Amino acid sequence: MKLWDIAIRQPVFMTMILAAGIVLGTVSYFRMPVDLFPNVEFPVVLVTTIYPGASPEEMEQQVTKVLEEELSAISGIDSVISRSSEGLSTLILQFDLDQSVDKASQEVREKVNLVRNRLPDGIQEPIIRRFNPSDNPILLFGVADRSGQYAPVELRKLVEDIIQAPLQRVPGVAAVDVDGGQVREIKVELDLEALEARRIAPQQVVEALRAENLNIPGGSVVTPQQELAVRTPGNFQTLDELRNLVIARRTAPVYLRDVARVVDGFEEREVITRLNGQESIVVRVRRQSGTNTTAVANAVKEELQTIAQANPNLEIVIAGDESLLVKQSTDGAFEDLIWSSILATLVILFFFRDLRNTVITMAGLPVIMVATLFFMDLAGISLNQVSLLALALVVGLVIDDAIVVRENIMRWVEKGYKPREAASKGTAEVVLPVLATSATILAVFLPVAYAEGIIGKFFRDFGLTVSIAIAVSTFESLTMAPMLSAYFFRASENVDREIDESRGNESGSGLLARIYGRSLNWALDHKLISSLVAVAVIAVSLYSARFIEQSFLPSLDRGQFDVSMEMPLGTSLAVTQAEAIKVEEILRSHPDVADVFTTIGGTSTPEQASFFVKVKDEDGRKVDTRKVINDLRSALANVPGISFQLADSATGGDVILGGKDVIVEMTAYSGDYGLLAQEARRVAQEMAQIPGIVDIDVSYKEGRPELQLEIDRQRASDLGLSTAQIGATVRTLVNGEVASVFRGEGPEADIRVQLSQADRASVEDILNIGLLSPTGQVIPLRNVARVQIASGPNEIVRVDRQPTISIGANISGRDEPKATADVVALLERMDFPTGIEAKLGGDAEAQADAFRNLGLALALAIIFIYMVLASQFGSFIQPLLIMLAMPLAVIGAILALSISGRPLDLTAFIGFIMLMGLVTKNSILLVDFANRERARGLDADTAMRHAGPVRLRPILMTALSMILAMIPVALGLSAGGEFRSSMAIAIMGGMITSTFLTLMVVPIGYSLVVGTLDRLGRRIRSGQERTEAGQSPAEGTVQPVGD
């Protein structure tokens, strides 16, 4: 028994199956993760090594190159990017996408352990961690003291105790990071004169602190009654114990207090954080991978509300909330889905002109959409911009099969059949085109779901979601559609009259069918003219594709942006703070700015400041973030080193400069970093002349002036001193060294040994440092070393072990593709020295790779469509006729993008791929019906003249329902709509042109090709009959032949 007959005869059974889909889909909806974009885990591993006080060149030579040499040998490595700055080395290891990130990180850890003994002794242990885009904070908030009763160190400790600890226990929270405030530190400020007078070396102080501040377990003592643990508690409990520590013995004990001052103070501040004009503690909350962003953020905010009520003296201000954008985007996608459903319903109502039949036709839509959620959950697909885009687009697509089935059932009802009988016959008649159209859609989107590269992973959710929805809709159209039609369609007034089966199928009725019928007859009567016009249209469509502009992913206005400021090198943190406060005031003065989070300074970068700016979103009023940036750009024009960065991309942009609009990557294969820097500055100057290019930033910057000590090795050796001893002594005295940890009264704190500020305030002070020789003689540093003032790069970047400099810029007041094309033309015109190469970086390589992979997916989709159609129709020729609609869709899509001013981005490209499956649906309906007419004995030309008007109504219904369903998505008025609109615009344009042109071109091609094959077949059969009978063949009826 056929599936639709089971549904008609067993309605309760089929209703329970459909109800199960609704129940499971509803449960899945509430448990599915919700995020902005798909949770794509890239196999990227970061290795971070800290070497306090080391210059960028030293970091490169002593740390970075050692690690690069070892780690580059790991199998599966795609690229190695290294950054060496003052005291910091960072390696970014990008593996092939098919590599397991767990395995990759384990191999990196093993390799680092192998070379650990080749790294300098003074480094901190290398930190190895995996990179995941979902590691970005979902919540950013500041905590300030309303009462003024807490010192900065007390406020930070309070935040760590009553905010950080409770939030870490919230389900779904991965980490809670706290920045700002002050951290307690016990300072041992050495007195240089006292040390020299008592012949005490700084390292003796450090070693004494390490040796005495210990808590050593001593095993256990077992008596007949009990077992006693033995330990030697030696931790300092008070600062007086620390001051009274014996450092050495001469004629009398030398105490720490004799050679140093012990101060209960704070770590030297490198970073100052501010929120909305006042200094505060900043907290970042990160979620666990795969969890629901909105649910985790809401749980954290509920906990914060409880904390705020219990601590009224604390002011907690949320500056960044990723969950709001996620929720708004999700709600916006569902709004588009609802409006699309309404518009599609109006199309059905217009053609059916019957409310009951319209409701019956659309009743399957919620069943399809809800059941699709269940299978999405099984496939591990979250609710995100990409999967919701797929759901919004398939609204007009999933009801197509139901429209075809129900329209055909209605046609059989209108012929006089009872609804149950019409439901069975009507469904059986169109089961082939229904399966064929569904198969073609699956053939289109499964290659998209499994495309290679980063973009393949990114759009996997899209391809799978569409494929799942199509599969569910096919099942619904062959079960629920005939079932409801059988029991709820009204019987025709002709139901009791005798039906003449020999009459075959009736011609199309209605005004539109008559108009189209006359137009089709004219086209078929003038095939040459019509064919030339069709060929010209196809040629123009293919040629016009050369002129459309391209871009990567559509921008997404997140309602926030970043501003960076860079003062001259050597600027103190206090001066940078003063200037940053002025910038902060200008930013906050803009009427559309809600919050400003300021970070001043950084590790070895006191001259830098960054501002995270959140734009207001009140009463649903959508503020254009780019307009706010343009307003502020003129107000901040005189600020040194000011630059803006809009976080509107789904990707991370450039590893070095972040998300700039355009990135130029320059590489010196000769290894000459100085020459590379010179050429980079030249490129930056030329780029500044291009209209629309602003905020130019070069990753290469001159380093801070540094004091280099050149050791006289011979003289030092004569005095019993080594370079290592001299360097270690200078580092301890100038940079300071953490000797131990104080765990006595008050919060735990590091014990730092360092020369007092007064003794290291000038170059002369450094040269006067006394070095203790093995003979006890105090030797001034100036006697064994001379000073040289020099400077080098602030940061050294290498890509695949080659020196690299990035030049980034934003684009303002001009289309991004045009400005980017000018940059490419500039690079082609410029002559570079041998060994220097310049090319577009950032997203450019990813864009090229993505278009290449999607181009392959498009080619595979066309091949698979042909295979599916050939299998369905049992013909090698007819699939080619059906596929004539494909190029007809291209011209409409390109024209729609051009009129709307949208470039061909990746979402629009997927819209092109989607069109390849959509536009064949109309052709399938025409060709399938014409084949049925040929089977009744009609020639190909007459069969298509009958098929056109009869199939006009379902073709227009499916096309218009798809086109109107795209309107809410194309307008992009809802939150996150700008990400979805390009694809919808391309689909609308392609559907409009292909629908109207297909109604003419496919019948002409069918009449010419199939008619010719039929005539050829008749001649072959006639010749065979003459040969067999030995007489002239009688005039026979037309018989279709295998095509």
Beta strands in 550-692 (DSSP E): 560-566, 593-601, 608-615, 643-646, 662-668
**pLDDT tens readout for residues 328-352:** 778 888 888 888 888 888 888 888 7
Q: Report pLDDT for 267.
A: 83
Question: pLDDT band for position 25 (50/70/90)?
Answer: very high
Q: Does domain 42-131 have CATH number 3.30.70.1430?
A: yes
Question: pLDDT band for position 659 (50/70/90)?
Answer: low
For residue 105, the SS3 value is helix
Contacts 24+ apart (CB under 8 A), 871-879: 872/432, 872/435, 872/436, 872/439, 873/436, 873/927, 873/928, 873/931, 873/1043, 874/1042, 874/1043, 875/1042, 875/1043, 876/1043, 877/1009, 877/1010, 877/1013, 877/1043, 878/927, 878/931, 878/1006, 878/1010, 878/1043
Indicate the domain borders of the chain.
Answer: 1-31+354-492, 42-131, 184-216+233-266+705-790, 513-556+842-1043, 559-648
Joined together, the tokens standing for residue 779 give 């030797």
Question: pLDDT band for position 505 (50/70/90)?
Answer: very low
Joined together, the tokens standing for residue 896 give 């729609």
In the numeric block, the tokens 């694809």 are attached to 983
Q: Smallest Cα–Cα separation from 153: which of 161, 604, 275?
A: 161
Q: Smallest Cα–Cα separation from 74: which of 101, 55, 53?
A: 101
The partner residues of 890 in beta bridges, in order of sequence, read none
**pLDDT tens readout for residues 388-401:** 888 877 887 787 77
CATH of domain 559-648: 3.30.70.1430
Question: What is the radius of gyration, based on Cα positions, of the chain?
Answer: 38
Superfamily of domain 513-556+842-1043: Multidrug efflux transporter AcrB transmembrane domain (1.20.1640.10)
**Secondary structure (DSSP) of 941-999:** HHHHHHHHHHHHHHHHHHHHHHHHHHHHHHHT-STTHHHHHHHHHHHHHHHHHHHHHHH
Joined together, the tokens standing for residue 712 give 């006289």
Has residue 503 got a pLDDT over 50? Answer: no
Q: Report pLDDT for 704.
A: 67
User: Distance between CA 315 and CA 468 in Å, rounded?
Assistant: 48
Has residue 26 got a pLDDT over 90? Answer: yes
Between helix 395-414 and helix 940-971 the angle, nearest 10°, is 140
What would the mean pLDDT of 1001-1018 be, rounded to a whole number? 86
Has residue 660 got a pLDDT over 80? Answer: no
Has residue 11 got a pLDDT over 60? Answer: yes
What would the mean pLDDT of 968-976 be, rounded to a whole number? 78
Kind plus residue range of the DSSP H or E element containing 27: helix 11-31
Least confident of 154-168, 435-449, 689-703, 910-924: 435-449
Has residue 1022 got a pLDDT over 80? Answer: no
- The CATH topology of domain 184-216+233-266+705-790 is 3.30.2090
Secondary structure of 372-409 in the HEC alphabet? Answer: HHHHHHHCCCCECHHHHHHHHHCHHHHHHHHHHHHHHH
What pairing do the DSSP bridges indicate for beta strands 184-190 and 260-266? antiparallel
Q: Is 788 left (phi over 0), alpha (psi -120 to 50) or beta?
A: beta
Q: Please state, for a pLDDT cut of 90, what percent of the chain lies above it.
A: 7
For residue 503, the SS3 value is helix
**pLDDT tens readout for residues 417-470:** 888 888 888 888 888 888 888 888 888 877 776 666 666 777 788 888 988 998
Kind plus residue range of the DSSP H or E element containing 320: strand 314-321
User: Distance between CA 895 and CA 544 in Å, rounded?
Assistant: 9
What b/e readout covers 289-317, taking b as 16+ CB neighbours within 10 angstroms? eebbbbbbbebbbebbeebeeeeeebbbe
Q: Smallest Cα–Cα separation from 964: which of 349, 366, 374?
A: 349
Amino acid at 971: L
Task: Give the ranges where 394-510 is alpha helix by DSSP (H).
Answer: 395-414, 419-449, 453-458, 460-488
Least confident of 29-33, 56-60, 280-284, 651-655: 651-655
**Secondary structure (DSSP) of 252-278:** SEEEHHHHEEEEEEEPPP-EEEEETTE
Degrees to nearest 5, angle at CA 714 with 709 and 717 = 95
Kind plus residue range of the DSSP H or E element containing 528: helix 527-544
Q: Report pLDDT for 67.
A: 92
Q: Report pLDDT for 501.
A: 45
Q: Report pLDDT for 16.
A: 93
* Number of Cβ within a 10 Å radius of residue 229: 9
Has residue 504 got a pLDDT over 50? Answer: no
What would the mean pLDDT of 817-822 be, rounded to a whole number? 83
Q: Please state, for a pLDDT cut of 70, what percent of the chain lies above it.
A: 92
Which pTM does this prediction carry?
0.72
Question: pLDDT band for position 302 (50/70/90)?
Answer: very high
Q: Report pLDDT for 964.
A: 87
Joined together, the tokens standing for residue 205 give 């102080």
CATH topology identical between 184-216+233-266+705-790 and 559-648: no
Q: Report pLDDT for 542.
A: 67
Quickly count helices (H) and strands (E) in the chain.
Answer: 35, 31
User: Distance between CA 287 and CA 135 in Å, rounded?
Assistant: 7
Instruction: Please give the span between the terminal C-alpha atoms of the chain, in angstroms, as a whole number.
Output: 31
| Sign of the torsion formed by the C-alpha atoms of 746, 752, 755 and 761 | negative
**pLDDT tens readout for residues 838-854:** 888 776 677 777 788 77
What b/e readout covers 163-199, taking b as 16+ CB neighbours within 10 angstroms? bbebbeebebbbebebebbbebbbbbbbbbeebbeeb
Q: Smallest Cα–Cα separation from 920: which of 444, 341, 446?
A: 444
Q: Report pLDDT for 651.
A: 47
**pLDDT tens readout for residues 118-130:** 888 778 889 888 7
Q: What are phi and psi of 172, to 5 degrees?
A: 95, -10
Q: Report pLDDT for 499.
A: 46
**pLDDT tens readout for residues 946-965:** 888 888 888 888 888 888 88
Q: Report pLDDT for 1042.
A: 47
CB-based contacts of 127, cutoff 8 Å, min separation 6: 46, 47, 48, 49
Kind plus residue range of the DSSP H or E element containing 219: strand 215-222
Tell me the CA distances in angstroms from 156 to 164, 281, 284, one per residue in order.
Answer: 10, 7, 14
Has residue 112 got a pLDDT over 50? Answer: yes
Q: Report pLDDT for 581.
A: 92
Least confident of 194-208, 611-625, 1022-1036: 1022-1036
Q: Does domain 1-31+354-492 have CATH number 3.90.650.10?
A: no
Question: pLDDT band for position 775 (50/70/90)?
Answer: confident
For residue 1035, the SS3 value is coil
Degrees to nearest 5, angle at CA 561 with 292 and 630 = 145
Least confident of 424-428, 575-579, 957-961, 1018-1022: 1018-1022
Q: Report pLDDT for 282.
A: 87
Has residue 497 got a pLDDT over 60? Answer: no
What would the mean pLDDT of 890-912 be, rounded to a whole number? 83
User: Distance between CA 74 and CA 884 in Å, rounded?
Assistant: 50
Q: Report pLDDT for 1036.
A: 44
Within 13 A of 740's CA, how many CA atoms are on the CB side?
A: 19
Q: Report pLDDT for 23.
A: 95
Q: What are phi and psi of 45, to 5 degrees?
A: -125, 135
| Number of residues written out for the chain | 1043
